[in-house]
Structure 1
Amino acid sequence: MTDIIPFRAVRYDKKNISDLICPPYDIISPSEKTGYLKKNPYNAVRIEYPSNYQSAKKKFELWSVKKVLIKDLLPSFYIYEQSFTFKEKKYVRSGFFAILKTEKFGKNIFPHEKTHAAPKLDRLNLLKTTDINTSPIFCLFSDKKEIFRKIVLKIKKQKPLNFAYIPNGKEKMWIIDDKKIIKSLKNLLKNNKILIADGHHRYETFFEYTKGGYILTFLCPFESNGLLILPTHRLIKNWTGKDTEKLADFFEFNKKCDFKFYVKNKFYYLKVPQKSDILPFQYLHSTILKNKEINYMKDEQEAIREVNSGKFAAAVIVKPLAIEDLKSVVNKKIVLPQKSTYFYPKVSTGFVFNKIGIR
């Protein structure tokens, strides 16, 4: 059984929090961090991506004393909506914040990609020092009967608690403290299988630290029209001419391809053989990328420039993972290679914080 419960969120006592939010720690560059630090002395980056862990703890405590941060009186769920434009197309992604009981993967909660050790150590140290969920993990659930969508339509008639402007869009948050609606959402999730879309490191770290505590989570339906997955391309350092010759051993060459492979100013259009019964990403990493030194890049043209500059030997230009393929991860209990998905935009840090053990 998947167990979610309402919680008393710690949040900014301000309507417009545009200058207070930031992205999750793992996509903030040093120069971007400097920009967020300059935006506002109370920007969430000071807690999410601190200069040291004690600093994050002290700032959270000080901001709470100064009432920059307040704690809601009643345990609640919170609807969070992102409206944005990408390549001239408009999207609206709605979900809700809750706290989710953590457990071992494979029964009710499923990962979809492998993790690195270093980020887990960083998040563990921050967690141990602060006892705060500074940013939510992002999970997907099934809502075929559109129960959640109907709740959203009802709640959105109220004025939002907070809002923020983001690049090419706007975010809003509403509170759900109605016990009937809370019960309805708990029942909706109870028999649902949950897929972690983003935040694998935070989930694993939290589970190891709390041995089954409740983690701050953003839950969004698979059926949402606002779910946008972008590709993350692969850059390879240790690639040779012999490796290129072996491409035909693993792939068919076809313009209707699964991947574009770029090496020495030439594209190879690679299609996974029909006989393969695994997803293209799995096949790619189990064949030509096995034992290769890989870096990742989101922009296709920049990836090609990196190869042309000689910094990397080759690039694999990938397609975004389809939502249906993502669902099969749950059904077949598949774990994909690292960086198989990039959900855009990221869920902002700063709308809600969760003090561990306090509901």
Structure 2
Amino acid sequence: MAKIIPFRGILYNPAKVSGDDVIAPPYDVITSEYRDVLYQKSPCNIVRIDFGKQMSGDTDSSNKYTRARDFFQQWIREGILVRDEKPAFYAYEIDYSLYGENKTLRGILAMVKIEELGKGVYPHEATHSKPKADRLNLMRSCLANISPIYSLYNSPEKITSMILDGIEEAPYISAHDAAGAVHKLYRISEESKIDSIMKDLSDKAVFIADGHHRYEVAMEFKREMGEGPWEYVLMFLANMSDAGITILPTHRMVKGIKREDVLGRLEPDFAIQTCGLECDIVERLSHEGKNTFGLYLGSNEKWYILKYKGTDLEDVPSVLRSLDVVVLHELIIKKDLGIIDVAYEMDIAESIKRVRKGDFDAVFFLNPTGVDDVERVALSGLRMPPKSTYFYPKLLTGMVINKFIVDE
């Protein structure tokens, strides 16, 4: 099982800065335009470290990574960033709204010992190849984990969850994200609570929810450096037995098909119904349940509702066979339609717009993957297709930083 320990976090000093001014979204969802907005918010916004701008005169010795290191060191010297005096776990709470329902996600920020995947720490989905040099260069320059990996564990006893539920003091720092969710951070430094959390998590597997690439970068850095504090990586850990975890679906936009042939090719494997575009496709798919998909072809103003008959996929491992994303990829996209050009979109209206513009021929909509499916597939040693899960809301960067300190 994974080893999880407290650490002396580096935090923004709320006496000198406001969380709303200095905290930022994850680097991989920040556009260049929004990065400019974050730069203007504060000269101490974490984006200057985590996702700094390239400059025209950059060289091997002066670039966005050296500037990130310099900002990091300067803000520590100036007391903008402060290091806790003793190890702690950090409670991270997000109050958010989804489809008119108010929800709360709670978890802890902790250090998790880096292990080979499948040995206490488990991936759950395949990832697209992605340049990792950027994150590795940042880690080399700053000697720190700037942003956490979002991970899950399963503790029906809810020992840690009860500790988090019992927090009553004001947050150490808080910030709002672009959707209006409130992100709050609390320090857990009492030895009795630290001991209880470590005992609760000592026999638990850890499942990477969001941040597979960051974990792989941390593994590579550990291989480079050998023994030392970089043998641990910063993670947010949420209990799968709690109610606040949300997974959203990522819809598939496709091209390279003949629209007039699509329904005929799908009919052997799917019962097909129609409804007008005024139909709430999210509600309809949720009502229809597992292995139901929405299809928009753009040529008329209606949805096609596809209900899988369960007649194929015997060659797919049983643990994957019932997953919506697997039925969509292995049966609809590969076998029935032979599609090779797939793009991903969270927003339903935007995906419809792209089809109407002619960028894509069709879009398939699906229900979200279940949290229990993540655990089941991960423990089997298999992986779901890319973009099978979108954990919402995204964690913000800058709530806590872990700096590698040698011989403390």
TM-score by length of 2: 0.82
SS at match of 2:364: strand
SS at match of 2:333: coil
Cα separation, 2, equivalents of 1:250 and 1:123: 43
Question: Aligned letter for 1:330?
Answer: A
Which deviates more, 74-83 or 220-229? 220-229
- In structure 1, the gaps of 5 or more residues are none
Q: In the TM superposition, what are the counterparts of 1:1-359 in structure 2 within 5 Å?
A: 1-14=1-14, 16-51=18-53, 52-154=64-166, 156-166=167-177, 167-211=179-223, 213-241=231-259, 242=261, 245-253=264-272, 256=288, 258-263=292-297, 264-265=299-300, 267-274=303-310, 276=313, 277=318, 278=321, 279-290=323-334, 292-357=340-405
Paired residues of 1:328 and 1:334 also in contact (CA < 8 A): no
Question: Aligned letter for 1:247?
Answer: L
SS at match of 1:246: helix
Paired residues of 1:176 and 1:182 also in contact (CA < 8 A): yes
Shift in Å, 1:126: 1.9
Shift in Å, 1:304: 1.0
Give a deviation string over 1:174-216, Cα, whole Å, max 9, x none. Answer: 1111222212211211111111111111001111221371101
Q: What is the percentage of aligned positions where both structures have the same residue?
A: 35
In the comparison of the two structures, how many residue pairs are matched? 358
Cα separation, 1, equivalents of 2:269 and 2:34: 41
Cα separation, 1, equivalents of 2:136 and 2:115: 17
Shift in Å, 1:96: 0.5
Cα separation, 1, equivalents of 2:253 and 2:137: 31
Cα separation, 2, equivalents of 1:260 and 1:133: 40
Shift in Å, 1:243: 5.4
Shift in Å, 1:134: 1.1
Question: Aligned letter for 2:27?
Answer: Y
Cα separation, 2, equivalents of 1:356 and 1:235: 42
Give a deviation string over 1:129-179, Cα, whole Å, max 9, x none. Answer: 22221100001111211211221133x123321122333232211111122
Cα separation, 2, equivalents of 1:26 and 1:238: 28
SS at match of 1:31: helix
Cα separation, 1, equivalents of 2:125 and 2:165: 33
Q: Which has the larger radius of gyration?
A: 2
**Do the aligned partners of residues 209 and 273 (structure 1) sit closer, same or farther apart at CA in structure 2, a change above 3 Å counting?**
farther
Which deviates more, 96-105 or 10-19? 10-19
Cα separation, 2, equivalents of 1:128 and 1:245: 55
Question: Aligned letter for 1:318?
Answer: L
**Do the aligned partners of residues 243 and 330 (structure 1) sit closer, same or farther apart at CA in structure 2, a change above 3 Å counting?**
same
Cα separation, 1, equivalents of 2:403 and 2:329: 39
* RMSD of aligned alpha carbons: 2.0
Paired residues of 2:251 and 2:366 also in contact (CA < 8 A): yes
Cα separation, 1, equivalents of 2:215 and 2:30: 19
Cα separation, 2, equivalents of 1:201 and 1:18: 27
Paired residues of 2:324 and 2:369 also in contact (CA < 8 A): no
TM-score by length of 1: 0.93
Cα separation, 2, equivalents of 1:102 and 1:345: 25
Question: Aligned letter for 2:403?
Answer: K
Paired residues of 2:125 and 2:388 also in contact (CA < 8 A): yes
Partner residue, 2:58: none
**Do the aligned partners of residues 307 and 42 (structure 1) sit closer, same or farther apart at CA in structure 2, a change above 3 Å counting?**
same
Which deviates more, 246-255 or 145-154? 246-255
Cα separation, 2, equivalents of 1:238 and 1:209: 41
Paired residues of 2:254 and 2:362 also in contact (CA < 8 A): yes
Cα separation, 1, equivalents of 2:270 and 2:236: 38
SS at match of 1:118: coil
